[in-house]
Structure 1
Amino acid sequence: MSAPGPVTIRNLTAQPLTIKLVERYETPNPKDFLPNGGFSVSNVSSNFTTLFSNKTSHSPASVNEKAQAFTKQDVDLRMEPFTTHVTDIKTSERGPAEILRLTLQGDGGGRWRIDTPTPSSASQTLSPLTPVPKHDYTAIYNSADHFLAILESTNLRNWMKEFQDETPLSALSLPGTHNSPTYHKALPSVRCQAVPPRDQLENGVRFFDIRVQPTNPSDPKDDGLALVHGAFPISLTGPKRFRDLLKTIEGFLDRNPSETLIMSLKREGTGNATDQQLCQILHDHYCSDQARWYTSPSIPTLAQARGKIVLVRRFELADSLKGENDGKGWGLNAENWAYNTPDCTYGDVRVQDFCEVLETENIEKKISLCCDHFERAAAVVCPIPGVTTDETNPVPPGPLYLNFLSASNFWKVGCWPEKIAARLNPAVKDFLVQRHDVGDKGVDGPGEKVEGDGGVGIVVCDWVGQGGDWDLVRAIVGMNSKLLVRQRGVGWK
């Protein structure tokens, strides 16, 4: 159990929130509490369960309504959107096992509450105290730092519907996955994902990194594309096909027309196929339907991309396609960024892809490089029609910031994708909700001012969704908060 200290609270929502009431409750069984600040449900006695009521898997363990607070304090701490506050509210007064309850109020009159410490490091939904609240909120609590981050609860299945049609994709913070379909039984260095692509889509992922190999490149009529990772197939139980993956994606977009999927395609695998052959196969057999694919060589707005797959090209163009779009080519250009790069701008992308984590000691370097790239993306400003841009003063909508959290070393067990993700994903989540885009002021006071929309670009992850944990995705989507504030306007409630 960490020592008592003042609670730091960060409002990562698009609305002002005010803490109105602080209450403290004793718990009957301190031994049930864990060193991480939560408590073990398996150790909770029947007497303990009468005091607490567990709701959903991501709902807080709330103090029973009949329990009496041993202290109550009215406060009036206003937190503007995307501000951090070091409060004078201590985590505990009598002992480490007490429960601290905070009641928050929105400008529209709604009220919510959250109890800390939360049962685990997983996100918790705030309990609404008003019927049919206009907003729902989610909290992520880091007990080691006594840090409570509050995000707007989002339906991850169709989170893009909140944004204006004029929004360029480069302005959004987008969760993505690396080698997206590699969730099958495979070599440990080949498997990069915990769950299938459909689950990723349903839980907010909007960028897929796909590697394919033409199965019969000498026959232009053959559309066969096998899913691979490097020289290996993605499954030990039989080949997996790109066509089947597309059916999953298309079905999701049909059910959720407000969404889009950015797809990076690259040729890998054994054999003698060329990029030009892959390009021609994709053009002739897959990407010709303009109602389904966006293949223009310029970053689209959401209006242009909704319901579609946006092609990011990591292969050379076929000669026959170099004249497309008035000689500008075909697809967004990500053909050849520098290998193992901490920061490279090429074509339509700016990339962090430091991947050679050869020793476990290098994982910290990888985390640092990821965080550096988040801060570069934070400076991006989305053009708001009629406000920040017009025909005379346009704001360019690019590049796409790609931030790969992935890395591996086949020869080192501690550096396999799953092992690296187990350390890197929680560290990145904590960085995003606590320290991303806070500027030189850090958390010394409220109202930090940073130029830009505070986004993080496209964050390409390994092993998200493992055990139902989508909090890294929630944190990434939550980084769109500043953009929402600007798009909704000052008077929005």
Structure 2
Amino acid sequence: MSRVPDNVNIRDLSLPGTHESCALYEGSSAGFAHCQNRNLQWQLTAGVRFLDIRCRAIDGAFAIHHGPFYQQLMFGDVLSSCYDFLRKNPSETILMKIQQEYSEDRDEYLRIFRTYMDDKGWRSLFHISRGYPSLGEARGKVVLCSKYPWVGEGLDFDDFDVQDDYDDPTQDEKKKEIVDQLNNASDASAPRSSLYVNHVSANGGFPWGWTPWSFASRLNPFTKSVLYQAPAIRPRVGVIAMDYVDSPDGDWDTADIDGIAAVSRLNEFRRPTLEVGKSYVIWNRHTGRAMDAGTAQSNVVQWTYDGLPQQCWTLEKGYADGIYTLRSERSGGLLSCKPGQTATHQGHDYHFWQIRPASNGGFHIHQDYAGLDLHIPRGSLDNGAGLEIDANTQYDWYTWCFDERVDINQSDAPGSLDIDFRVVQRGDLTYQGVYTLTNTGSETLTSWALDVTLIEGVTLDTVKGAVAGARTAPLPGDPQQADDKGAFSRLETVTLTGDQPLTPGGSTEVLCEGRLPQPGAEPAPWHIARVS
């Protein structure tokens, strides 16, 4: 959102979203409680900007649930993820809908909400108003909205214009409702009076109906195809809330952002000032796909964004002012294209370009010698479609956007940690657990950390292994809850800092010992390993 103008109101944005954003665990539901394959960190990094958070009021806190099924997160964990993302990306905003789930005491729910906001210090994370803010007002903040119940401040989700036929619709019924709501949002003149929300999700109901995946595997590809039929300059579509947001083509667990890109490309963008020597991801305004130098071929094609070096291009000065070359970070070759041929990244002529301003924040990439413009032939949406040059620039598949690289493939990053936790010994009220951390990246990690947040009533008393210490400062808003023996309770995230490097493929173990609130309880900590 860094290139969307500040004065655009959030109700006039196109926002990729997730339904049941934290529902990664199905429990004994046979798939009916499972709605996502990717966690909040991945969703936010990939471009999701609307979160649907379901909170169960229990023991003075909010546990994240889908119906009766606990999702191994607490509300503080959700807020910590949002805080961390916005701290690193202050130009962004997150629209968060919270609602009560699997609990009935409304007064207790509201009291707990106020505890999070005021006693635990999370209020400063939010933009709270009864009116829709502009993007400039909301940047760096979580915009609060709520339903079932409205929490008495912030936006009321019941005021939104919502399509959410979730209760076992037929495919044809649901598809029609999705298209009708897209048309409603697009046809509404700006500024709109409310925000349009379009749920692509549905659930047939346990035990005989279709699961969320059964619907998503069919509705996600349908919705993506409808969105890509829209010109990039069409009016905004509001929130598109998806199950299995990483599976836009109906394939299981693909970490694909095409569905997200199909929504976000429909926003109005400011044109950036390009800098010589800077690396860019260059994506097509019509297809939302990135210019890709491939891994085994010399042709330059379009491909779903994956954040890898073949999709990064360095802008370099050419033989005169206003003339440039684009160098592939993968091959080191220059983008070139002869008339009637497919673009390559290994050419030695036809490689000088003029970068000319185009509509809606984009550019035309104009071949200097031939006088023709780079484009996707006939606006093809196919991965692998080759780039060509032509004289006609009236279509938006001749328009290219320049953005900075975002890493959505953490497992392929130079530094990345994989976590495995297992209980190795259990007493009536004690446990021993072992974290195994493996460097799955391509570079040695000289500095790393493990953040551990504990289930209600579980303590972390001692830590042994490859860590420098068992405690650093808690996350903002988390009070100190150590008892007189120095044990940590639920409201604190404990950071364990590594004290030895991890080579690629290397592993280390960290032993944790603590107490349980009752016999038979599971320690089941929530955790994230990170390169610090």
Confirm or deny: 8 A CA contact 1:175 1:476 kept in the other structure: yes
Runs of 5+ consecutive residues of structure 2 not aligned to the other structure: 247-252, 272-357, 365-398, 401-532
1:408 to 1:297, Cα distance in 2 relative to 1, 3 A: same
Q: 1:281, CA displacement in angstroms?
A: 2.3
Task: Decide which of 266, 269, 273 is 2:102's aligned counterpart.
Answer: 269
Q: Per-residue deviation at 1:334?
A: 1.5
CA apart distance, 1:286: 2.5
- d(CA) in 2 for partners of 1:483 and 1:428? 26
Q: Which residue of 1 aligns with 2:259?
A: 472
Deviation at 1:285, TM superposition (A): 2.0
Structure holding more helix per residue: 1
Paired residues for 1:117-266 under 5 Å? 160-186=1-27, 187=29, 188-216=31-59, 222=60, 224-230=61-67, 232-235=68-71, 239-266=72-99
How many Å apart are 1:365 and its aligned residue?
1.3
Aligned partners of 1:178 and 1:462 also within 8 Å: yes
1:87 alignment counterpart: none
2:156 to 319, 333, 354: 333
| Matched ranges for 1:271-310 at <5 A | 272-274=104-106, 276-286=107-117, 289=122, 291-310=124-143
Rounded to whole Å, the distance in 2 between the matches of 1:210 and 1:290 is 17
| Distance in 2 of aligned mates of 1:426 and 1:413 | 24
CA contact (8 A) 2:26 2:33 kept: no
State the AA in 1 paired with 2:201: S
User: Secondary structure at 2:86's aligned position in 1?
Assistant: helix
> Partners of 1:183 and 1:334 in 2: how far apart?
24
**How far, CA to CA, are the matches of 1:470 and 1:490 in structure 2?**
23
User: Contact 2:164/2:199 (CA < 8 Å) preserved in 1?
Assistant: yes
Work out whether residues 402 and 459 of structure 1, in 8 Å CA contact, stay in contact via their aligned partners in 2.
yes
Residue type at the aligned position of 1:371: V
Q: Which amino acid aligns with 2:112?
A: I
Aligned position for 2:471: none
Question: Cα distance 1:202–1:365, how it changes in 2: closer, same or farther (>3 A)?
Answer: same
SS at 1:371 equivalent: helix
> Contact 2:25–2:33 at 8 Å: present in 1 too?
no
Report the AA paired with residue 87 of structure 2. D
* Contact 1:279/1:315, CA 8 A, preserved across alignment: no
Q: Which runs of 5+ in 1 are unaligned?
A: 1-159, 217-221, 322-329, 336-346, 383-394, 439-451
Please give the secondary structure, in 1, of the residue aligned with 2:43: helix
Aligned-pair identity in percent equals 29
Residue number in structure 1 paired with 2:187: 379
Q: Which residue of 2 aligns with 1:354?
A: 165
Moved more, 413-422 or 453-462: 413-422
Change (3 A) 1:233 1:301: same
Counterpart position of 1:421:
216
Q: 2:242 aligns with which of 461, 474, 488?
A: 461
Q: Is the alpha carbon distance of 1:334 and 1:487 closer, same or farther for their aligned partners in structure 2, counting shifts above 3 Å?
A: same
Relative to structure 1, is the Cα distance of residues 364 and 407 closer, same or farther in structure 2, using a 3 angstrom cutoff? same
For the 8 Å contact 1:204–1:473, the answer to whether it is kept is yes
Q: Give the 3-state SS of the residue equivalent to 2:97 in structure 1.
A: strand
Counterpart-to-counterpart distance in 1, 2:207 and 2:7: 46
1:387-406 equivalence runs, <5 A: 395=191, 397-406=192-201
**Which residue is equivalent to 2:275?**
none
Are the counterparts in 2 of residues 421 and 462 from structure 1 also a CA contact under 8 Å?
yes
Q: Considering only aligned residues, what root-mean-square deviation do their CA atoms show, in Å?
A: 2.8
Cα deviations across residues 130-157 of structure 1 (Å, max 9, x unaligned)?
A: xxxxxxxxxxxxxxxxxxxxxxxxxxxx
Per-residue deviation at 1:481?
Answer: 5.2
Distance (whole Å) between structure 1 residues aligned to residue 255 and residue 223 of structure 2? 18
Do 2:21 and 2:40's aligned partners in 1 also have CA atoms closer than 8 Å? Answer: yes
Q: Is the contact between residue 357 and residue 366 of structure 1 (CA under 8 Å) also seen in structure 2?
A: no
- Offset of 1:437 from its aligned partner? 6.7
Amino acid of the structure 2 residue aligned with 1:357? D
Kept in 2: contact 1:357–1:363 (CA 8 A): no
For residues 404 and 234 of structure 1, what CA distance do their matches in structure 2 show?
Answer: 23
Q: Deviations over 1:22-48 (max 9, x none)?
A: xxxxxxxxxxxxxxxxxxxxxxxxxxx
Using the alignment, how far apart are the partners of 1:482 and 1:256 within structure 2? Answer: 17
Kept in 2: contact 1:201–1:252 (CA 8 A): yes
| Alignment partners' CA distance in 1, 2:173 and 2:131 | 33
Does the alignment pair 1:370 with 2:370?
no
How far 1:210 sits from its partner (Å)? 0.8
The alignment covers a number of residue pairs equal to 270
**Are the equivalent residues in 2 in contact too, given 1:214–1:278 (CA < 8 A)?**
yes
**Residue 221 of structure 2 aligns to which amino acid in structure 1?**
P
Q: Which amino acid aligns with 1:277?
A: E
Change in CA separation of 1:228 and 1:472 when aligned onto 2, cut-off 3 Å? same
Distance 1:461 1:305 in 2: 23
Cα separation, partners in 2 of 1:284 and 1:416, compared to 1, 3 Å: same
Greater strand content:
2
What CA distance in whole angstroms lies between the structure 1 residues aligned with 2:217 and 2:244?
Answer: 8
Q: Alpha-carbon deviation of 1:184?
A: 2.5
Q: How does 1:93-132 map to 2 (within 5 A)?
A: none
**Code of the aligned partner of 2:174:** K
**Higher relative contact order, structure no. (Cα contacts within 8 Å, ≥ 6 residues apart):** 1
Partners of 2:194 and 2:234 lie apart in 1 by: 15
Aligned partners of 2:3 and 2:270 also within 8 Å: no
- Whole-angstrom distance in 2 between the partners of 1:257 and 1:477: 18
What is the CA distance between 1:402 and its match in structure 2? 0.6
- Which secondary structure does the structure 1 equivalent of 2:95 belong to? strand
Hey, what does 2:442 align to over in structure 1? none
Letter of the aligned partner of 2:94 in structure 1?
Answer: L
